[in-house]
Amino acid sequence: MPPLKDLRVVRSSIDGYGVVATRAFAAGELIAEVDGVAWRDGEGVDDRYSLWIDDGLYFDMVDQTRWINHSCAPNAGLETGVSDTGAVWARIVARRPIPSGEEISYDYAFPAHLAEPCRCGSSRCRGMIIDEEELPAVTAAR
């Protein structure tokens, strides 16, 4: 597939591979439309790079956006939805101005049962990749 415009996959200081901006983005600007394949529970699809869209409905990211890392203090956000015709869509949008060369990140906000250790390095790191609203319940259970 052709590389996404204005983005490049690199080795990341956060984890594994990451995606950096090759130009500056303004706050609120669209960074990328995610190319993906929608699937449902029970279809046996590799879920490592899948986004949760709705109950039992997922979107497997099949372009470079799958390499975008999680951060607890992200510079971008993920927007998802389902169109009137039933097509799943997802896009990455800048939450603040992003200079060229900066790694793109968004908050994966995993549900508690999928939470995993976080090494994002941000001063606001929650220690786990987890939905901020589910963190108190998980830490209280330890």
Shortest Å, Cβ 67 to Zn ion: 17
DSSP 96: S
Here the tokens at position 24 are 């500056």
Stretch that binds Zn ion, among 52-60, 94-102, 107-115, 117-125 (CB under 5 A): 117-125
Residue 120 touches Zn ion, criterion: CB under 5 A: yes
Tell me the CB-side half-sphere exposure of residue 46, using CA atoms within 13 A: 6
Shortest Å, Cβ 84 to Zn ion: 36
Residue 31 touches Zn ion, criterion: CB under 5 A: no
Residue 115 touches Zn ion, criterion: CB under 5 A: no
Closest among 132, 133, 113 to 122, alpha carbons compared: 132
Closer residue to Zn ion in complex, CB, 68/118:
118
Contact code string over 61-100 relative to Zn ion, x by CB under 5 A: -----------x----------------------------
Tell me the CB-side half-sphere exposure of residue 81, using CA atoms within 13 A: 7
DSSP of 106-138: E-----GGG-EE-----TT--SEES-GGGHHHH
Residues at the site binding Zn ion, with contacts judged by CB under 5 A: 72, 118, 120, 125
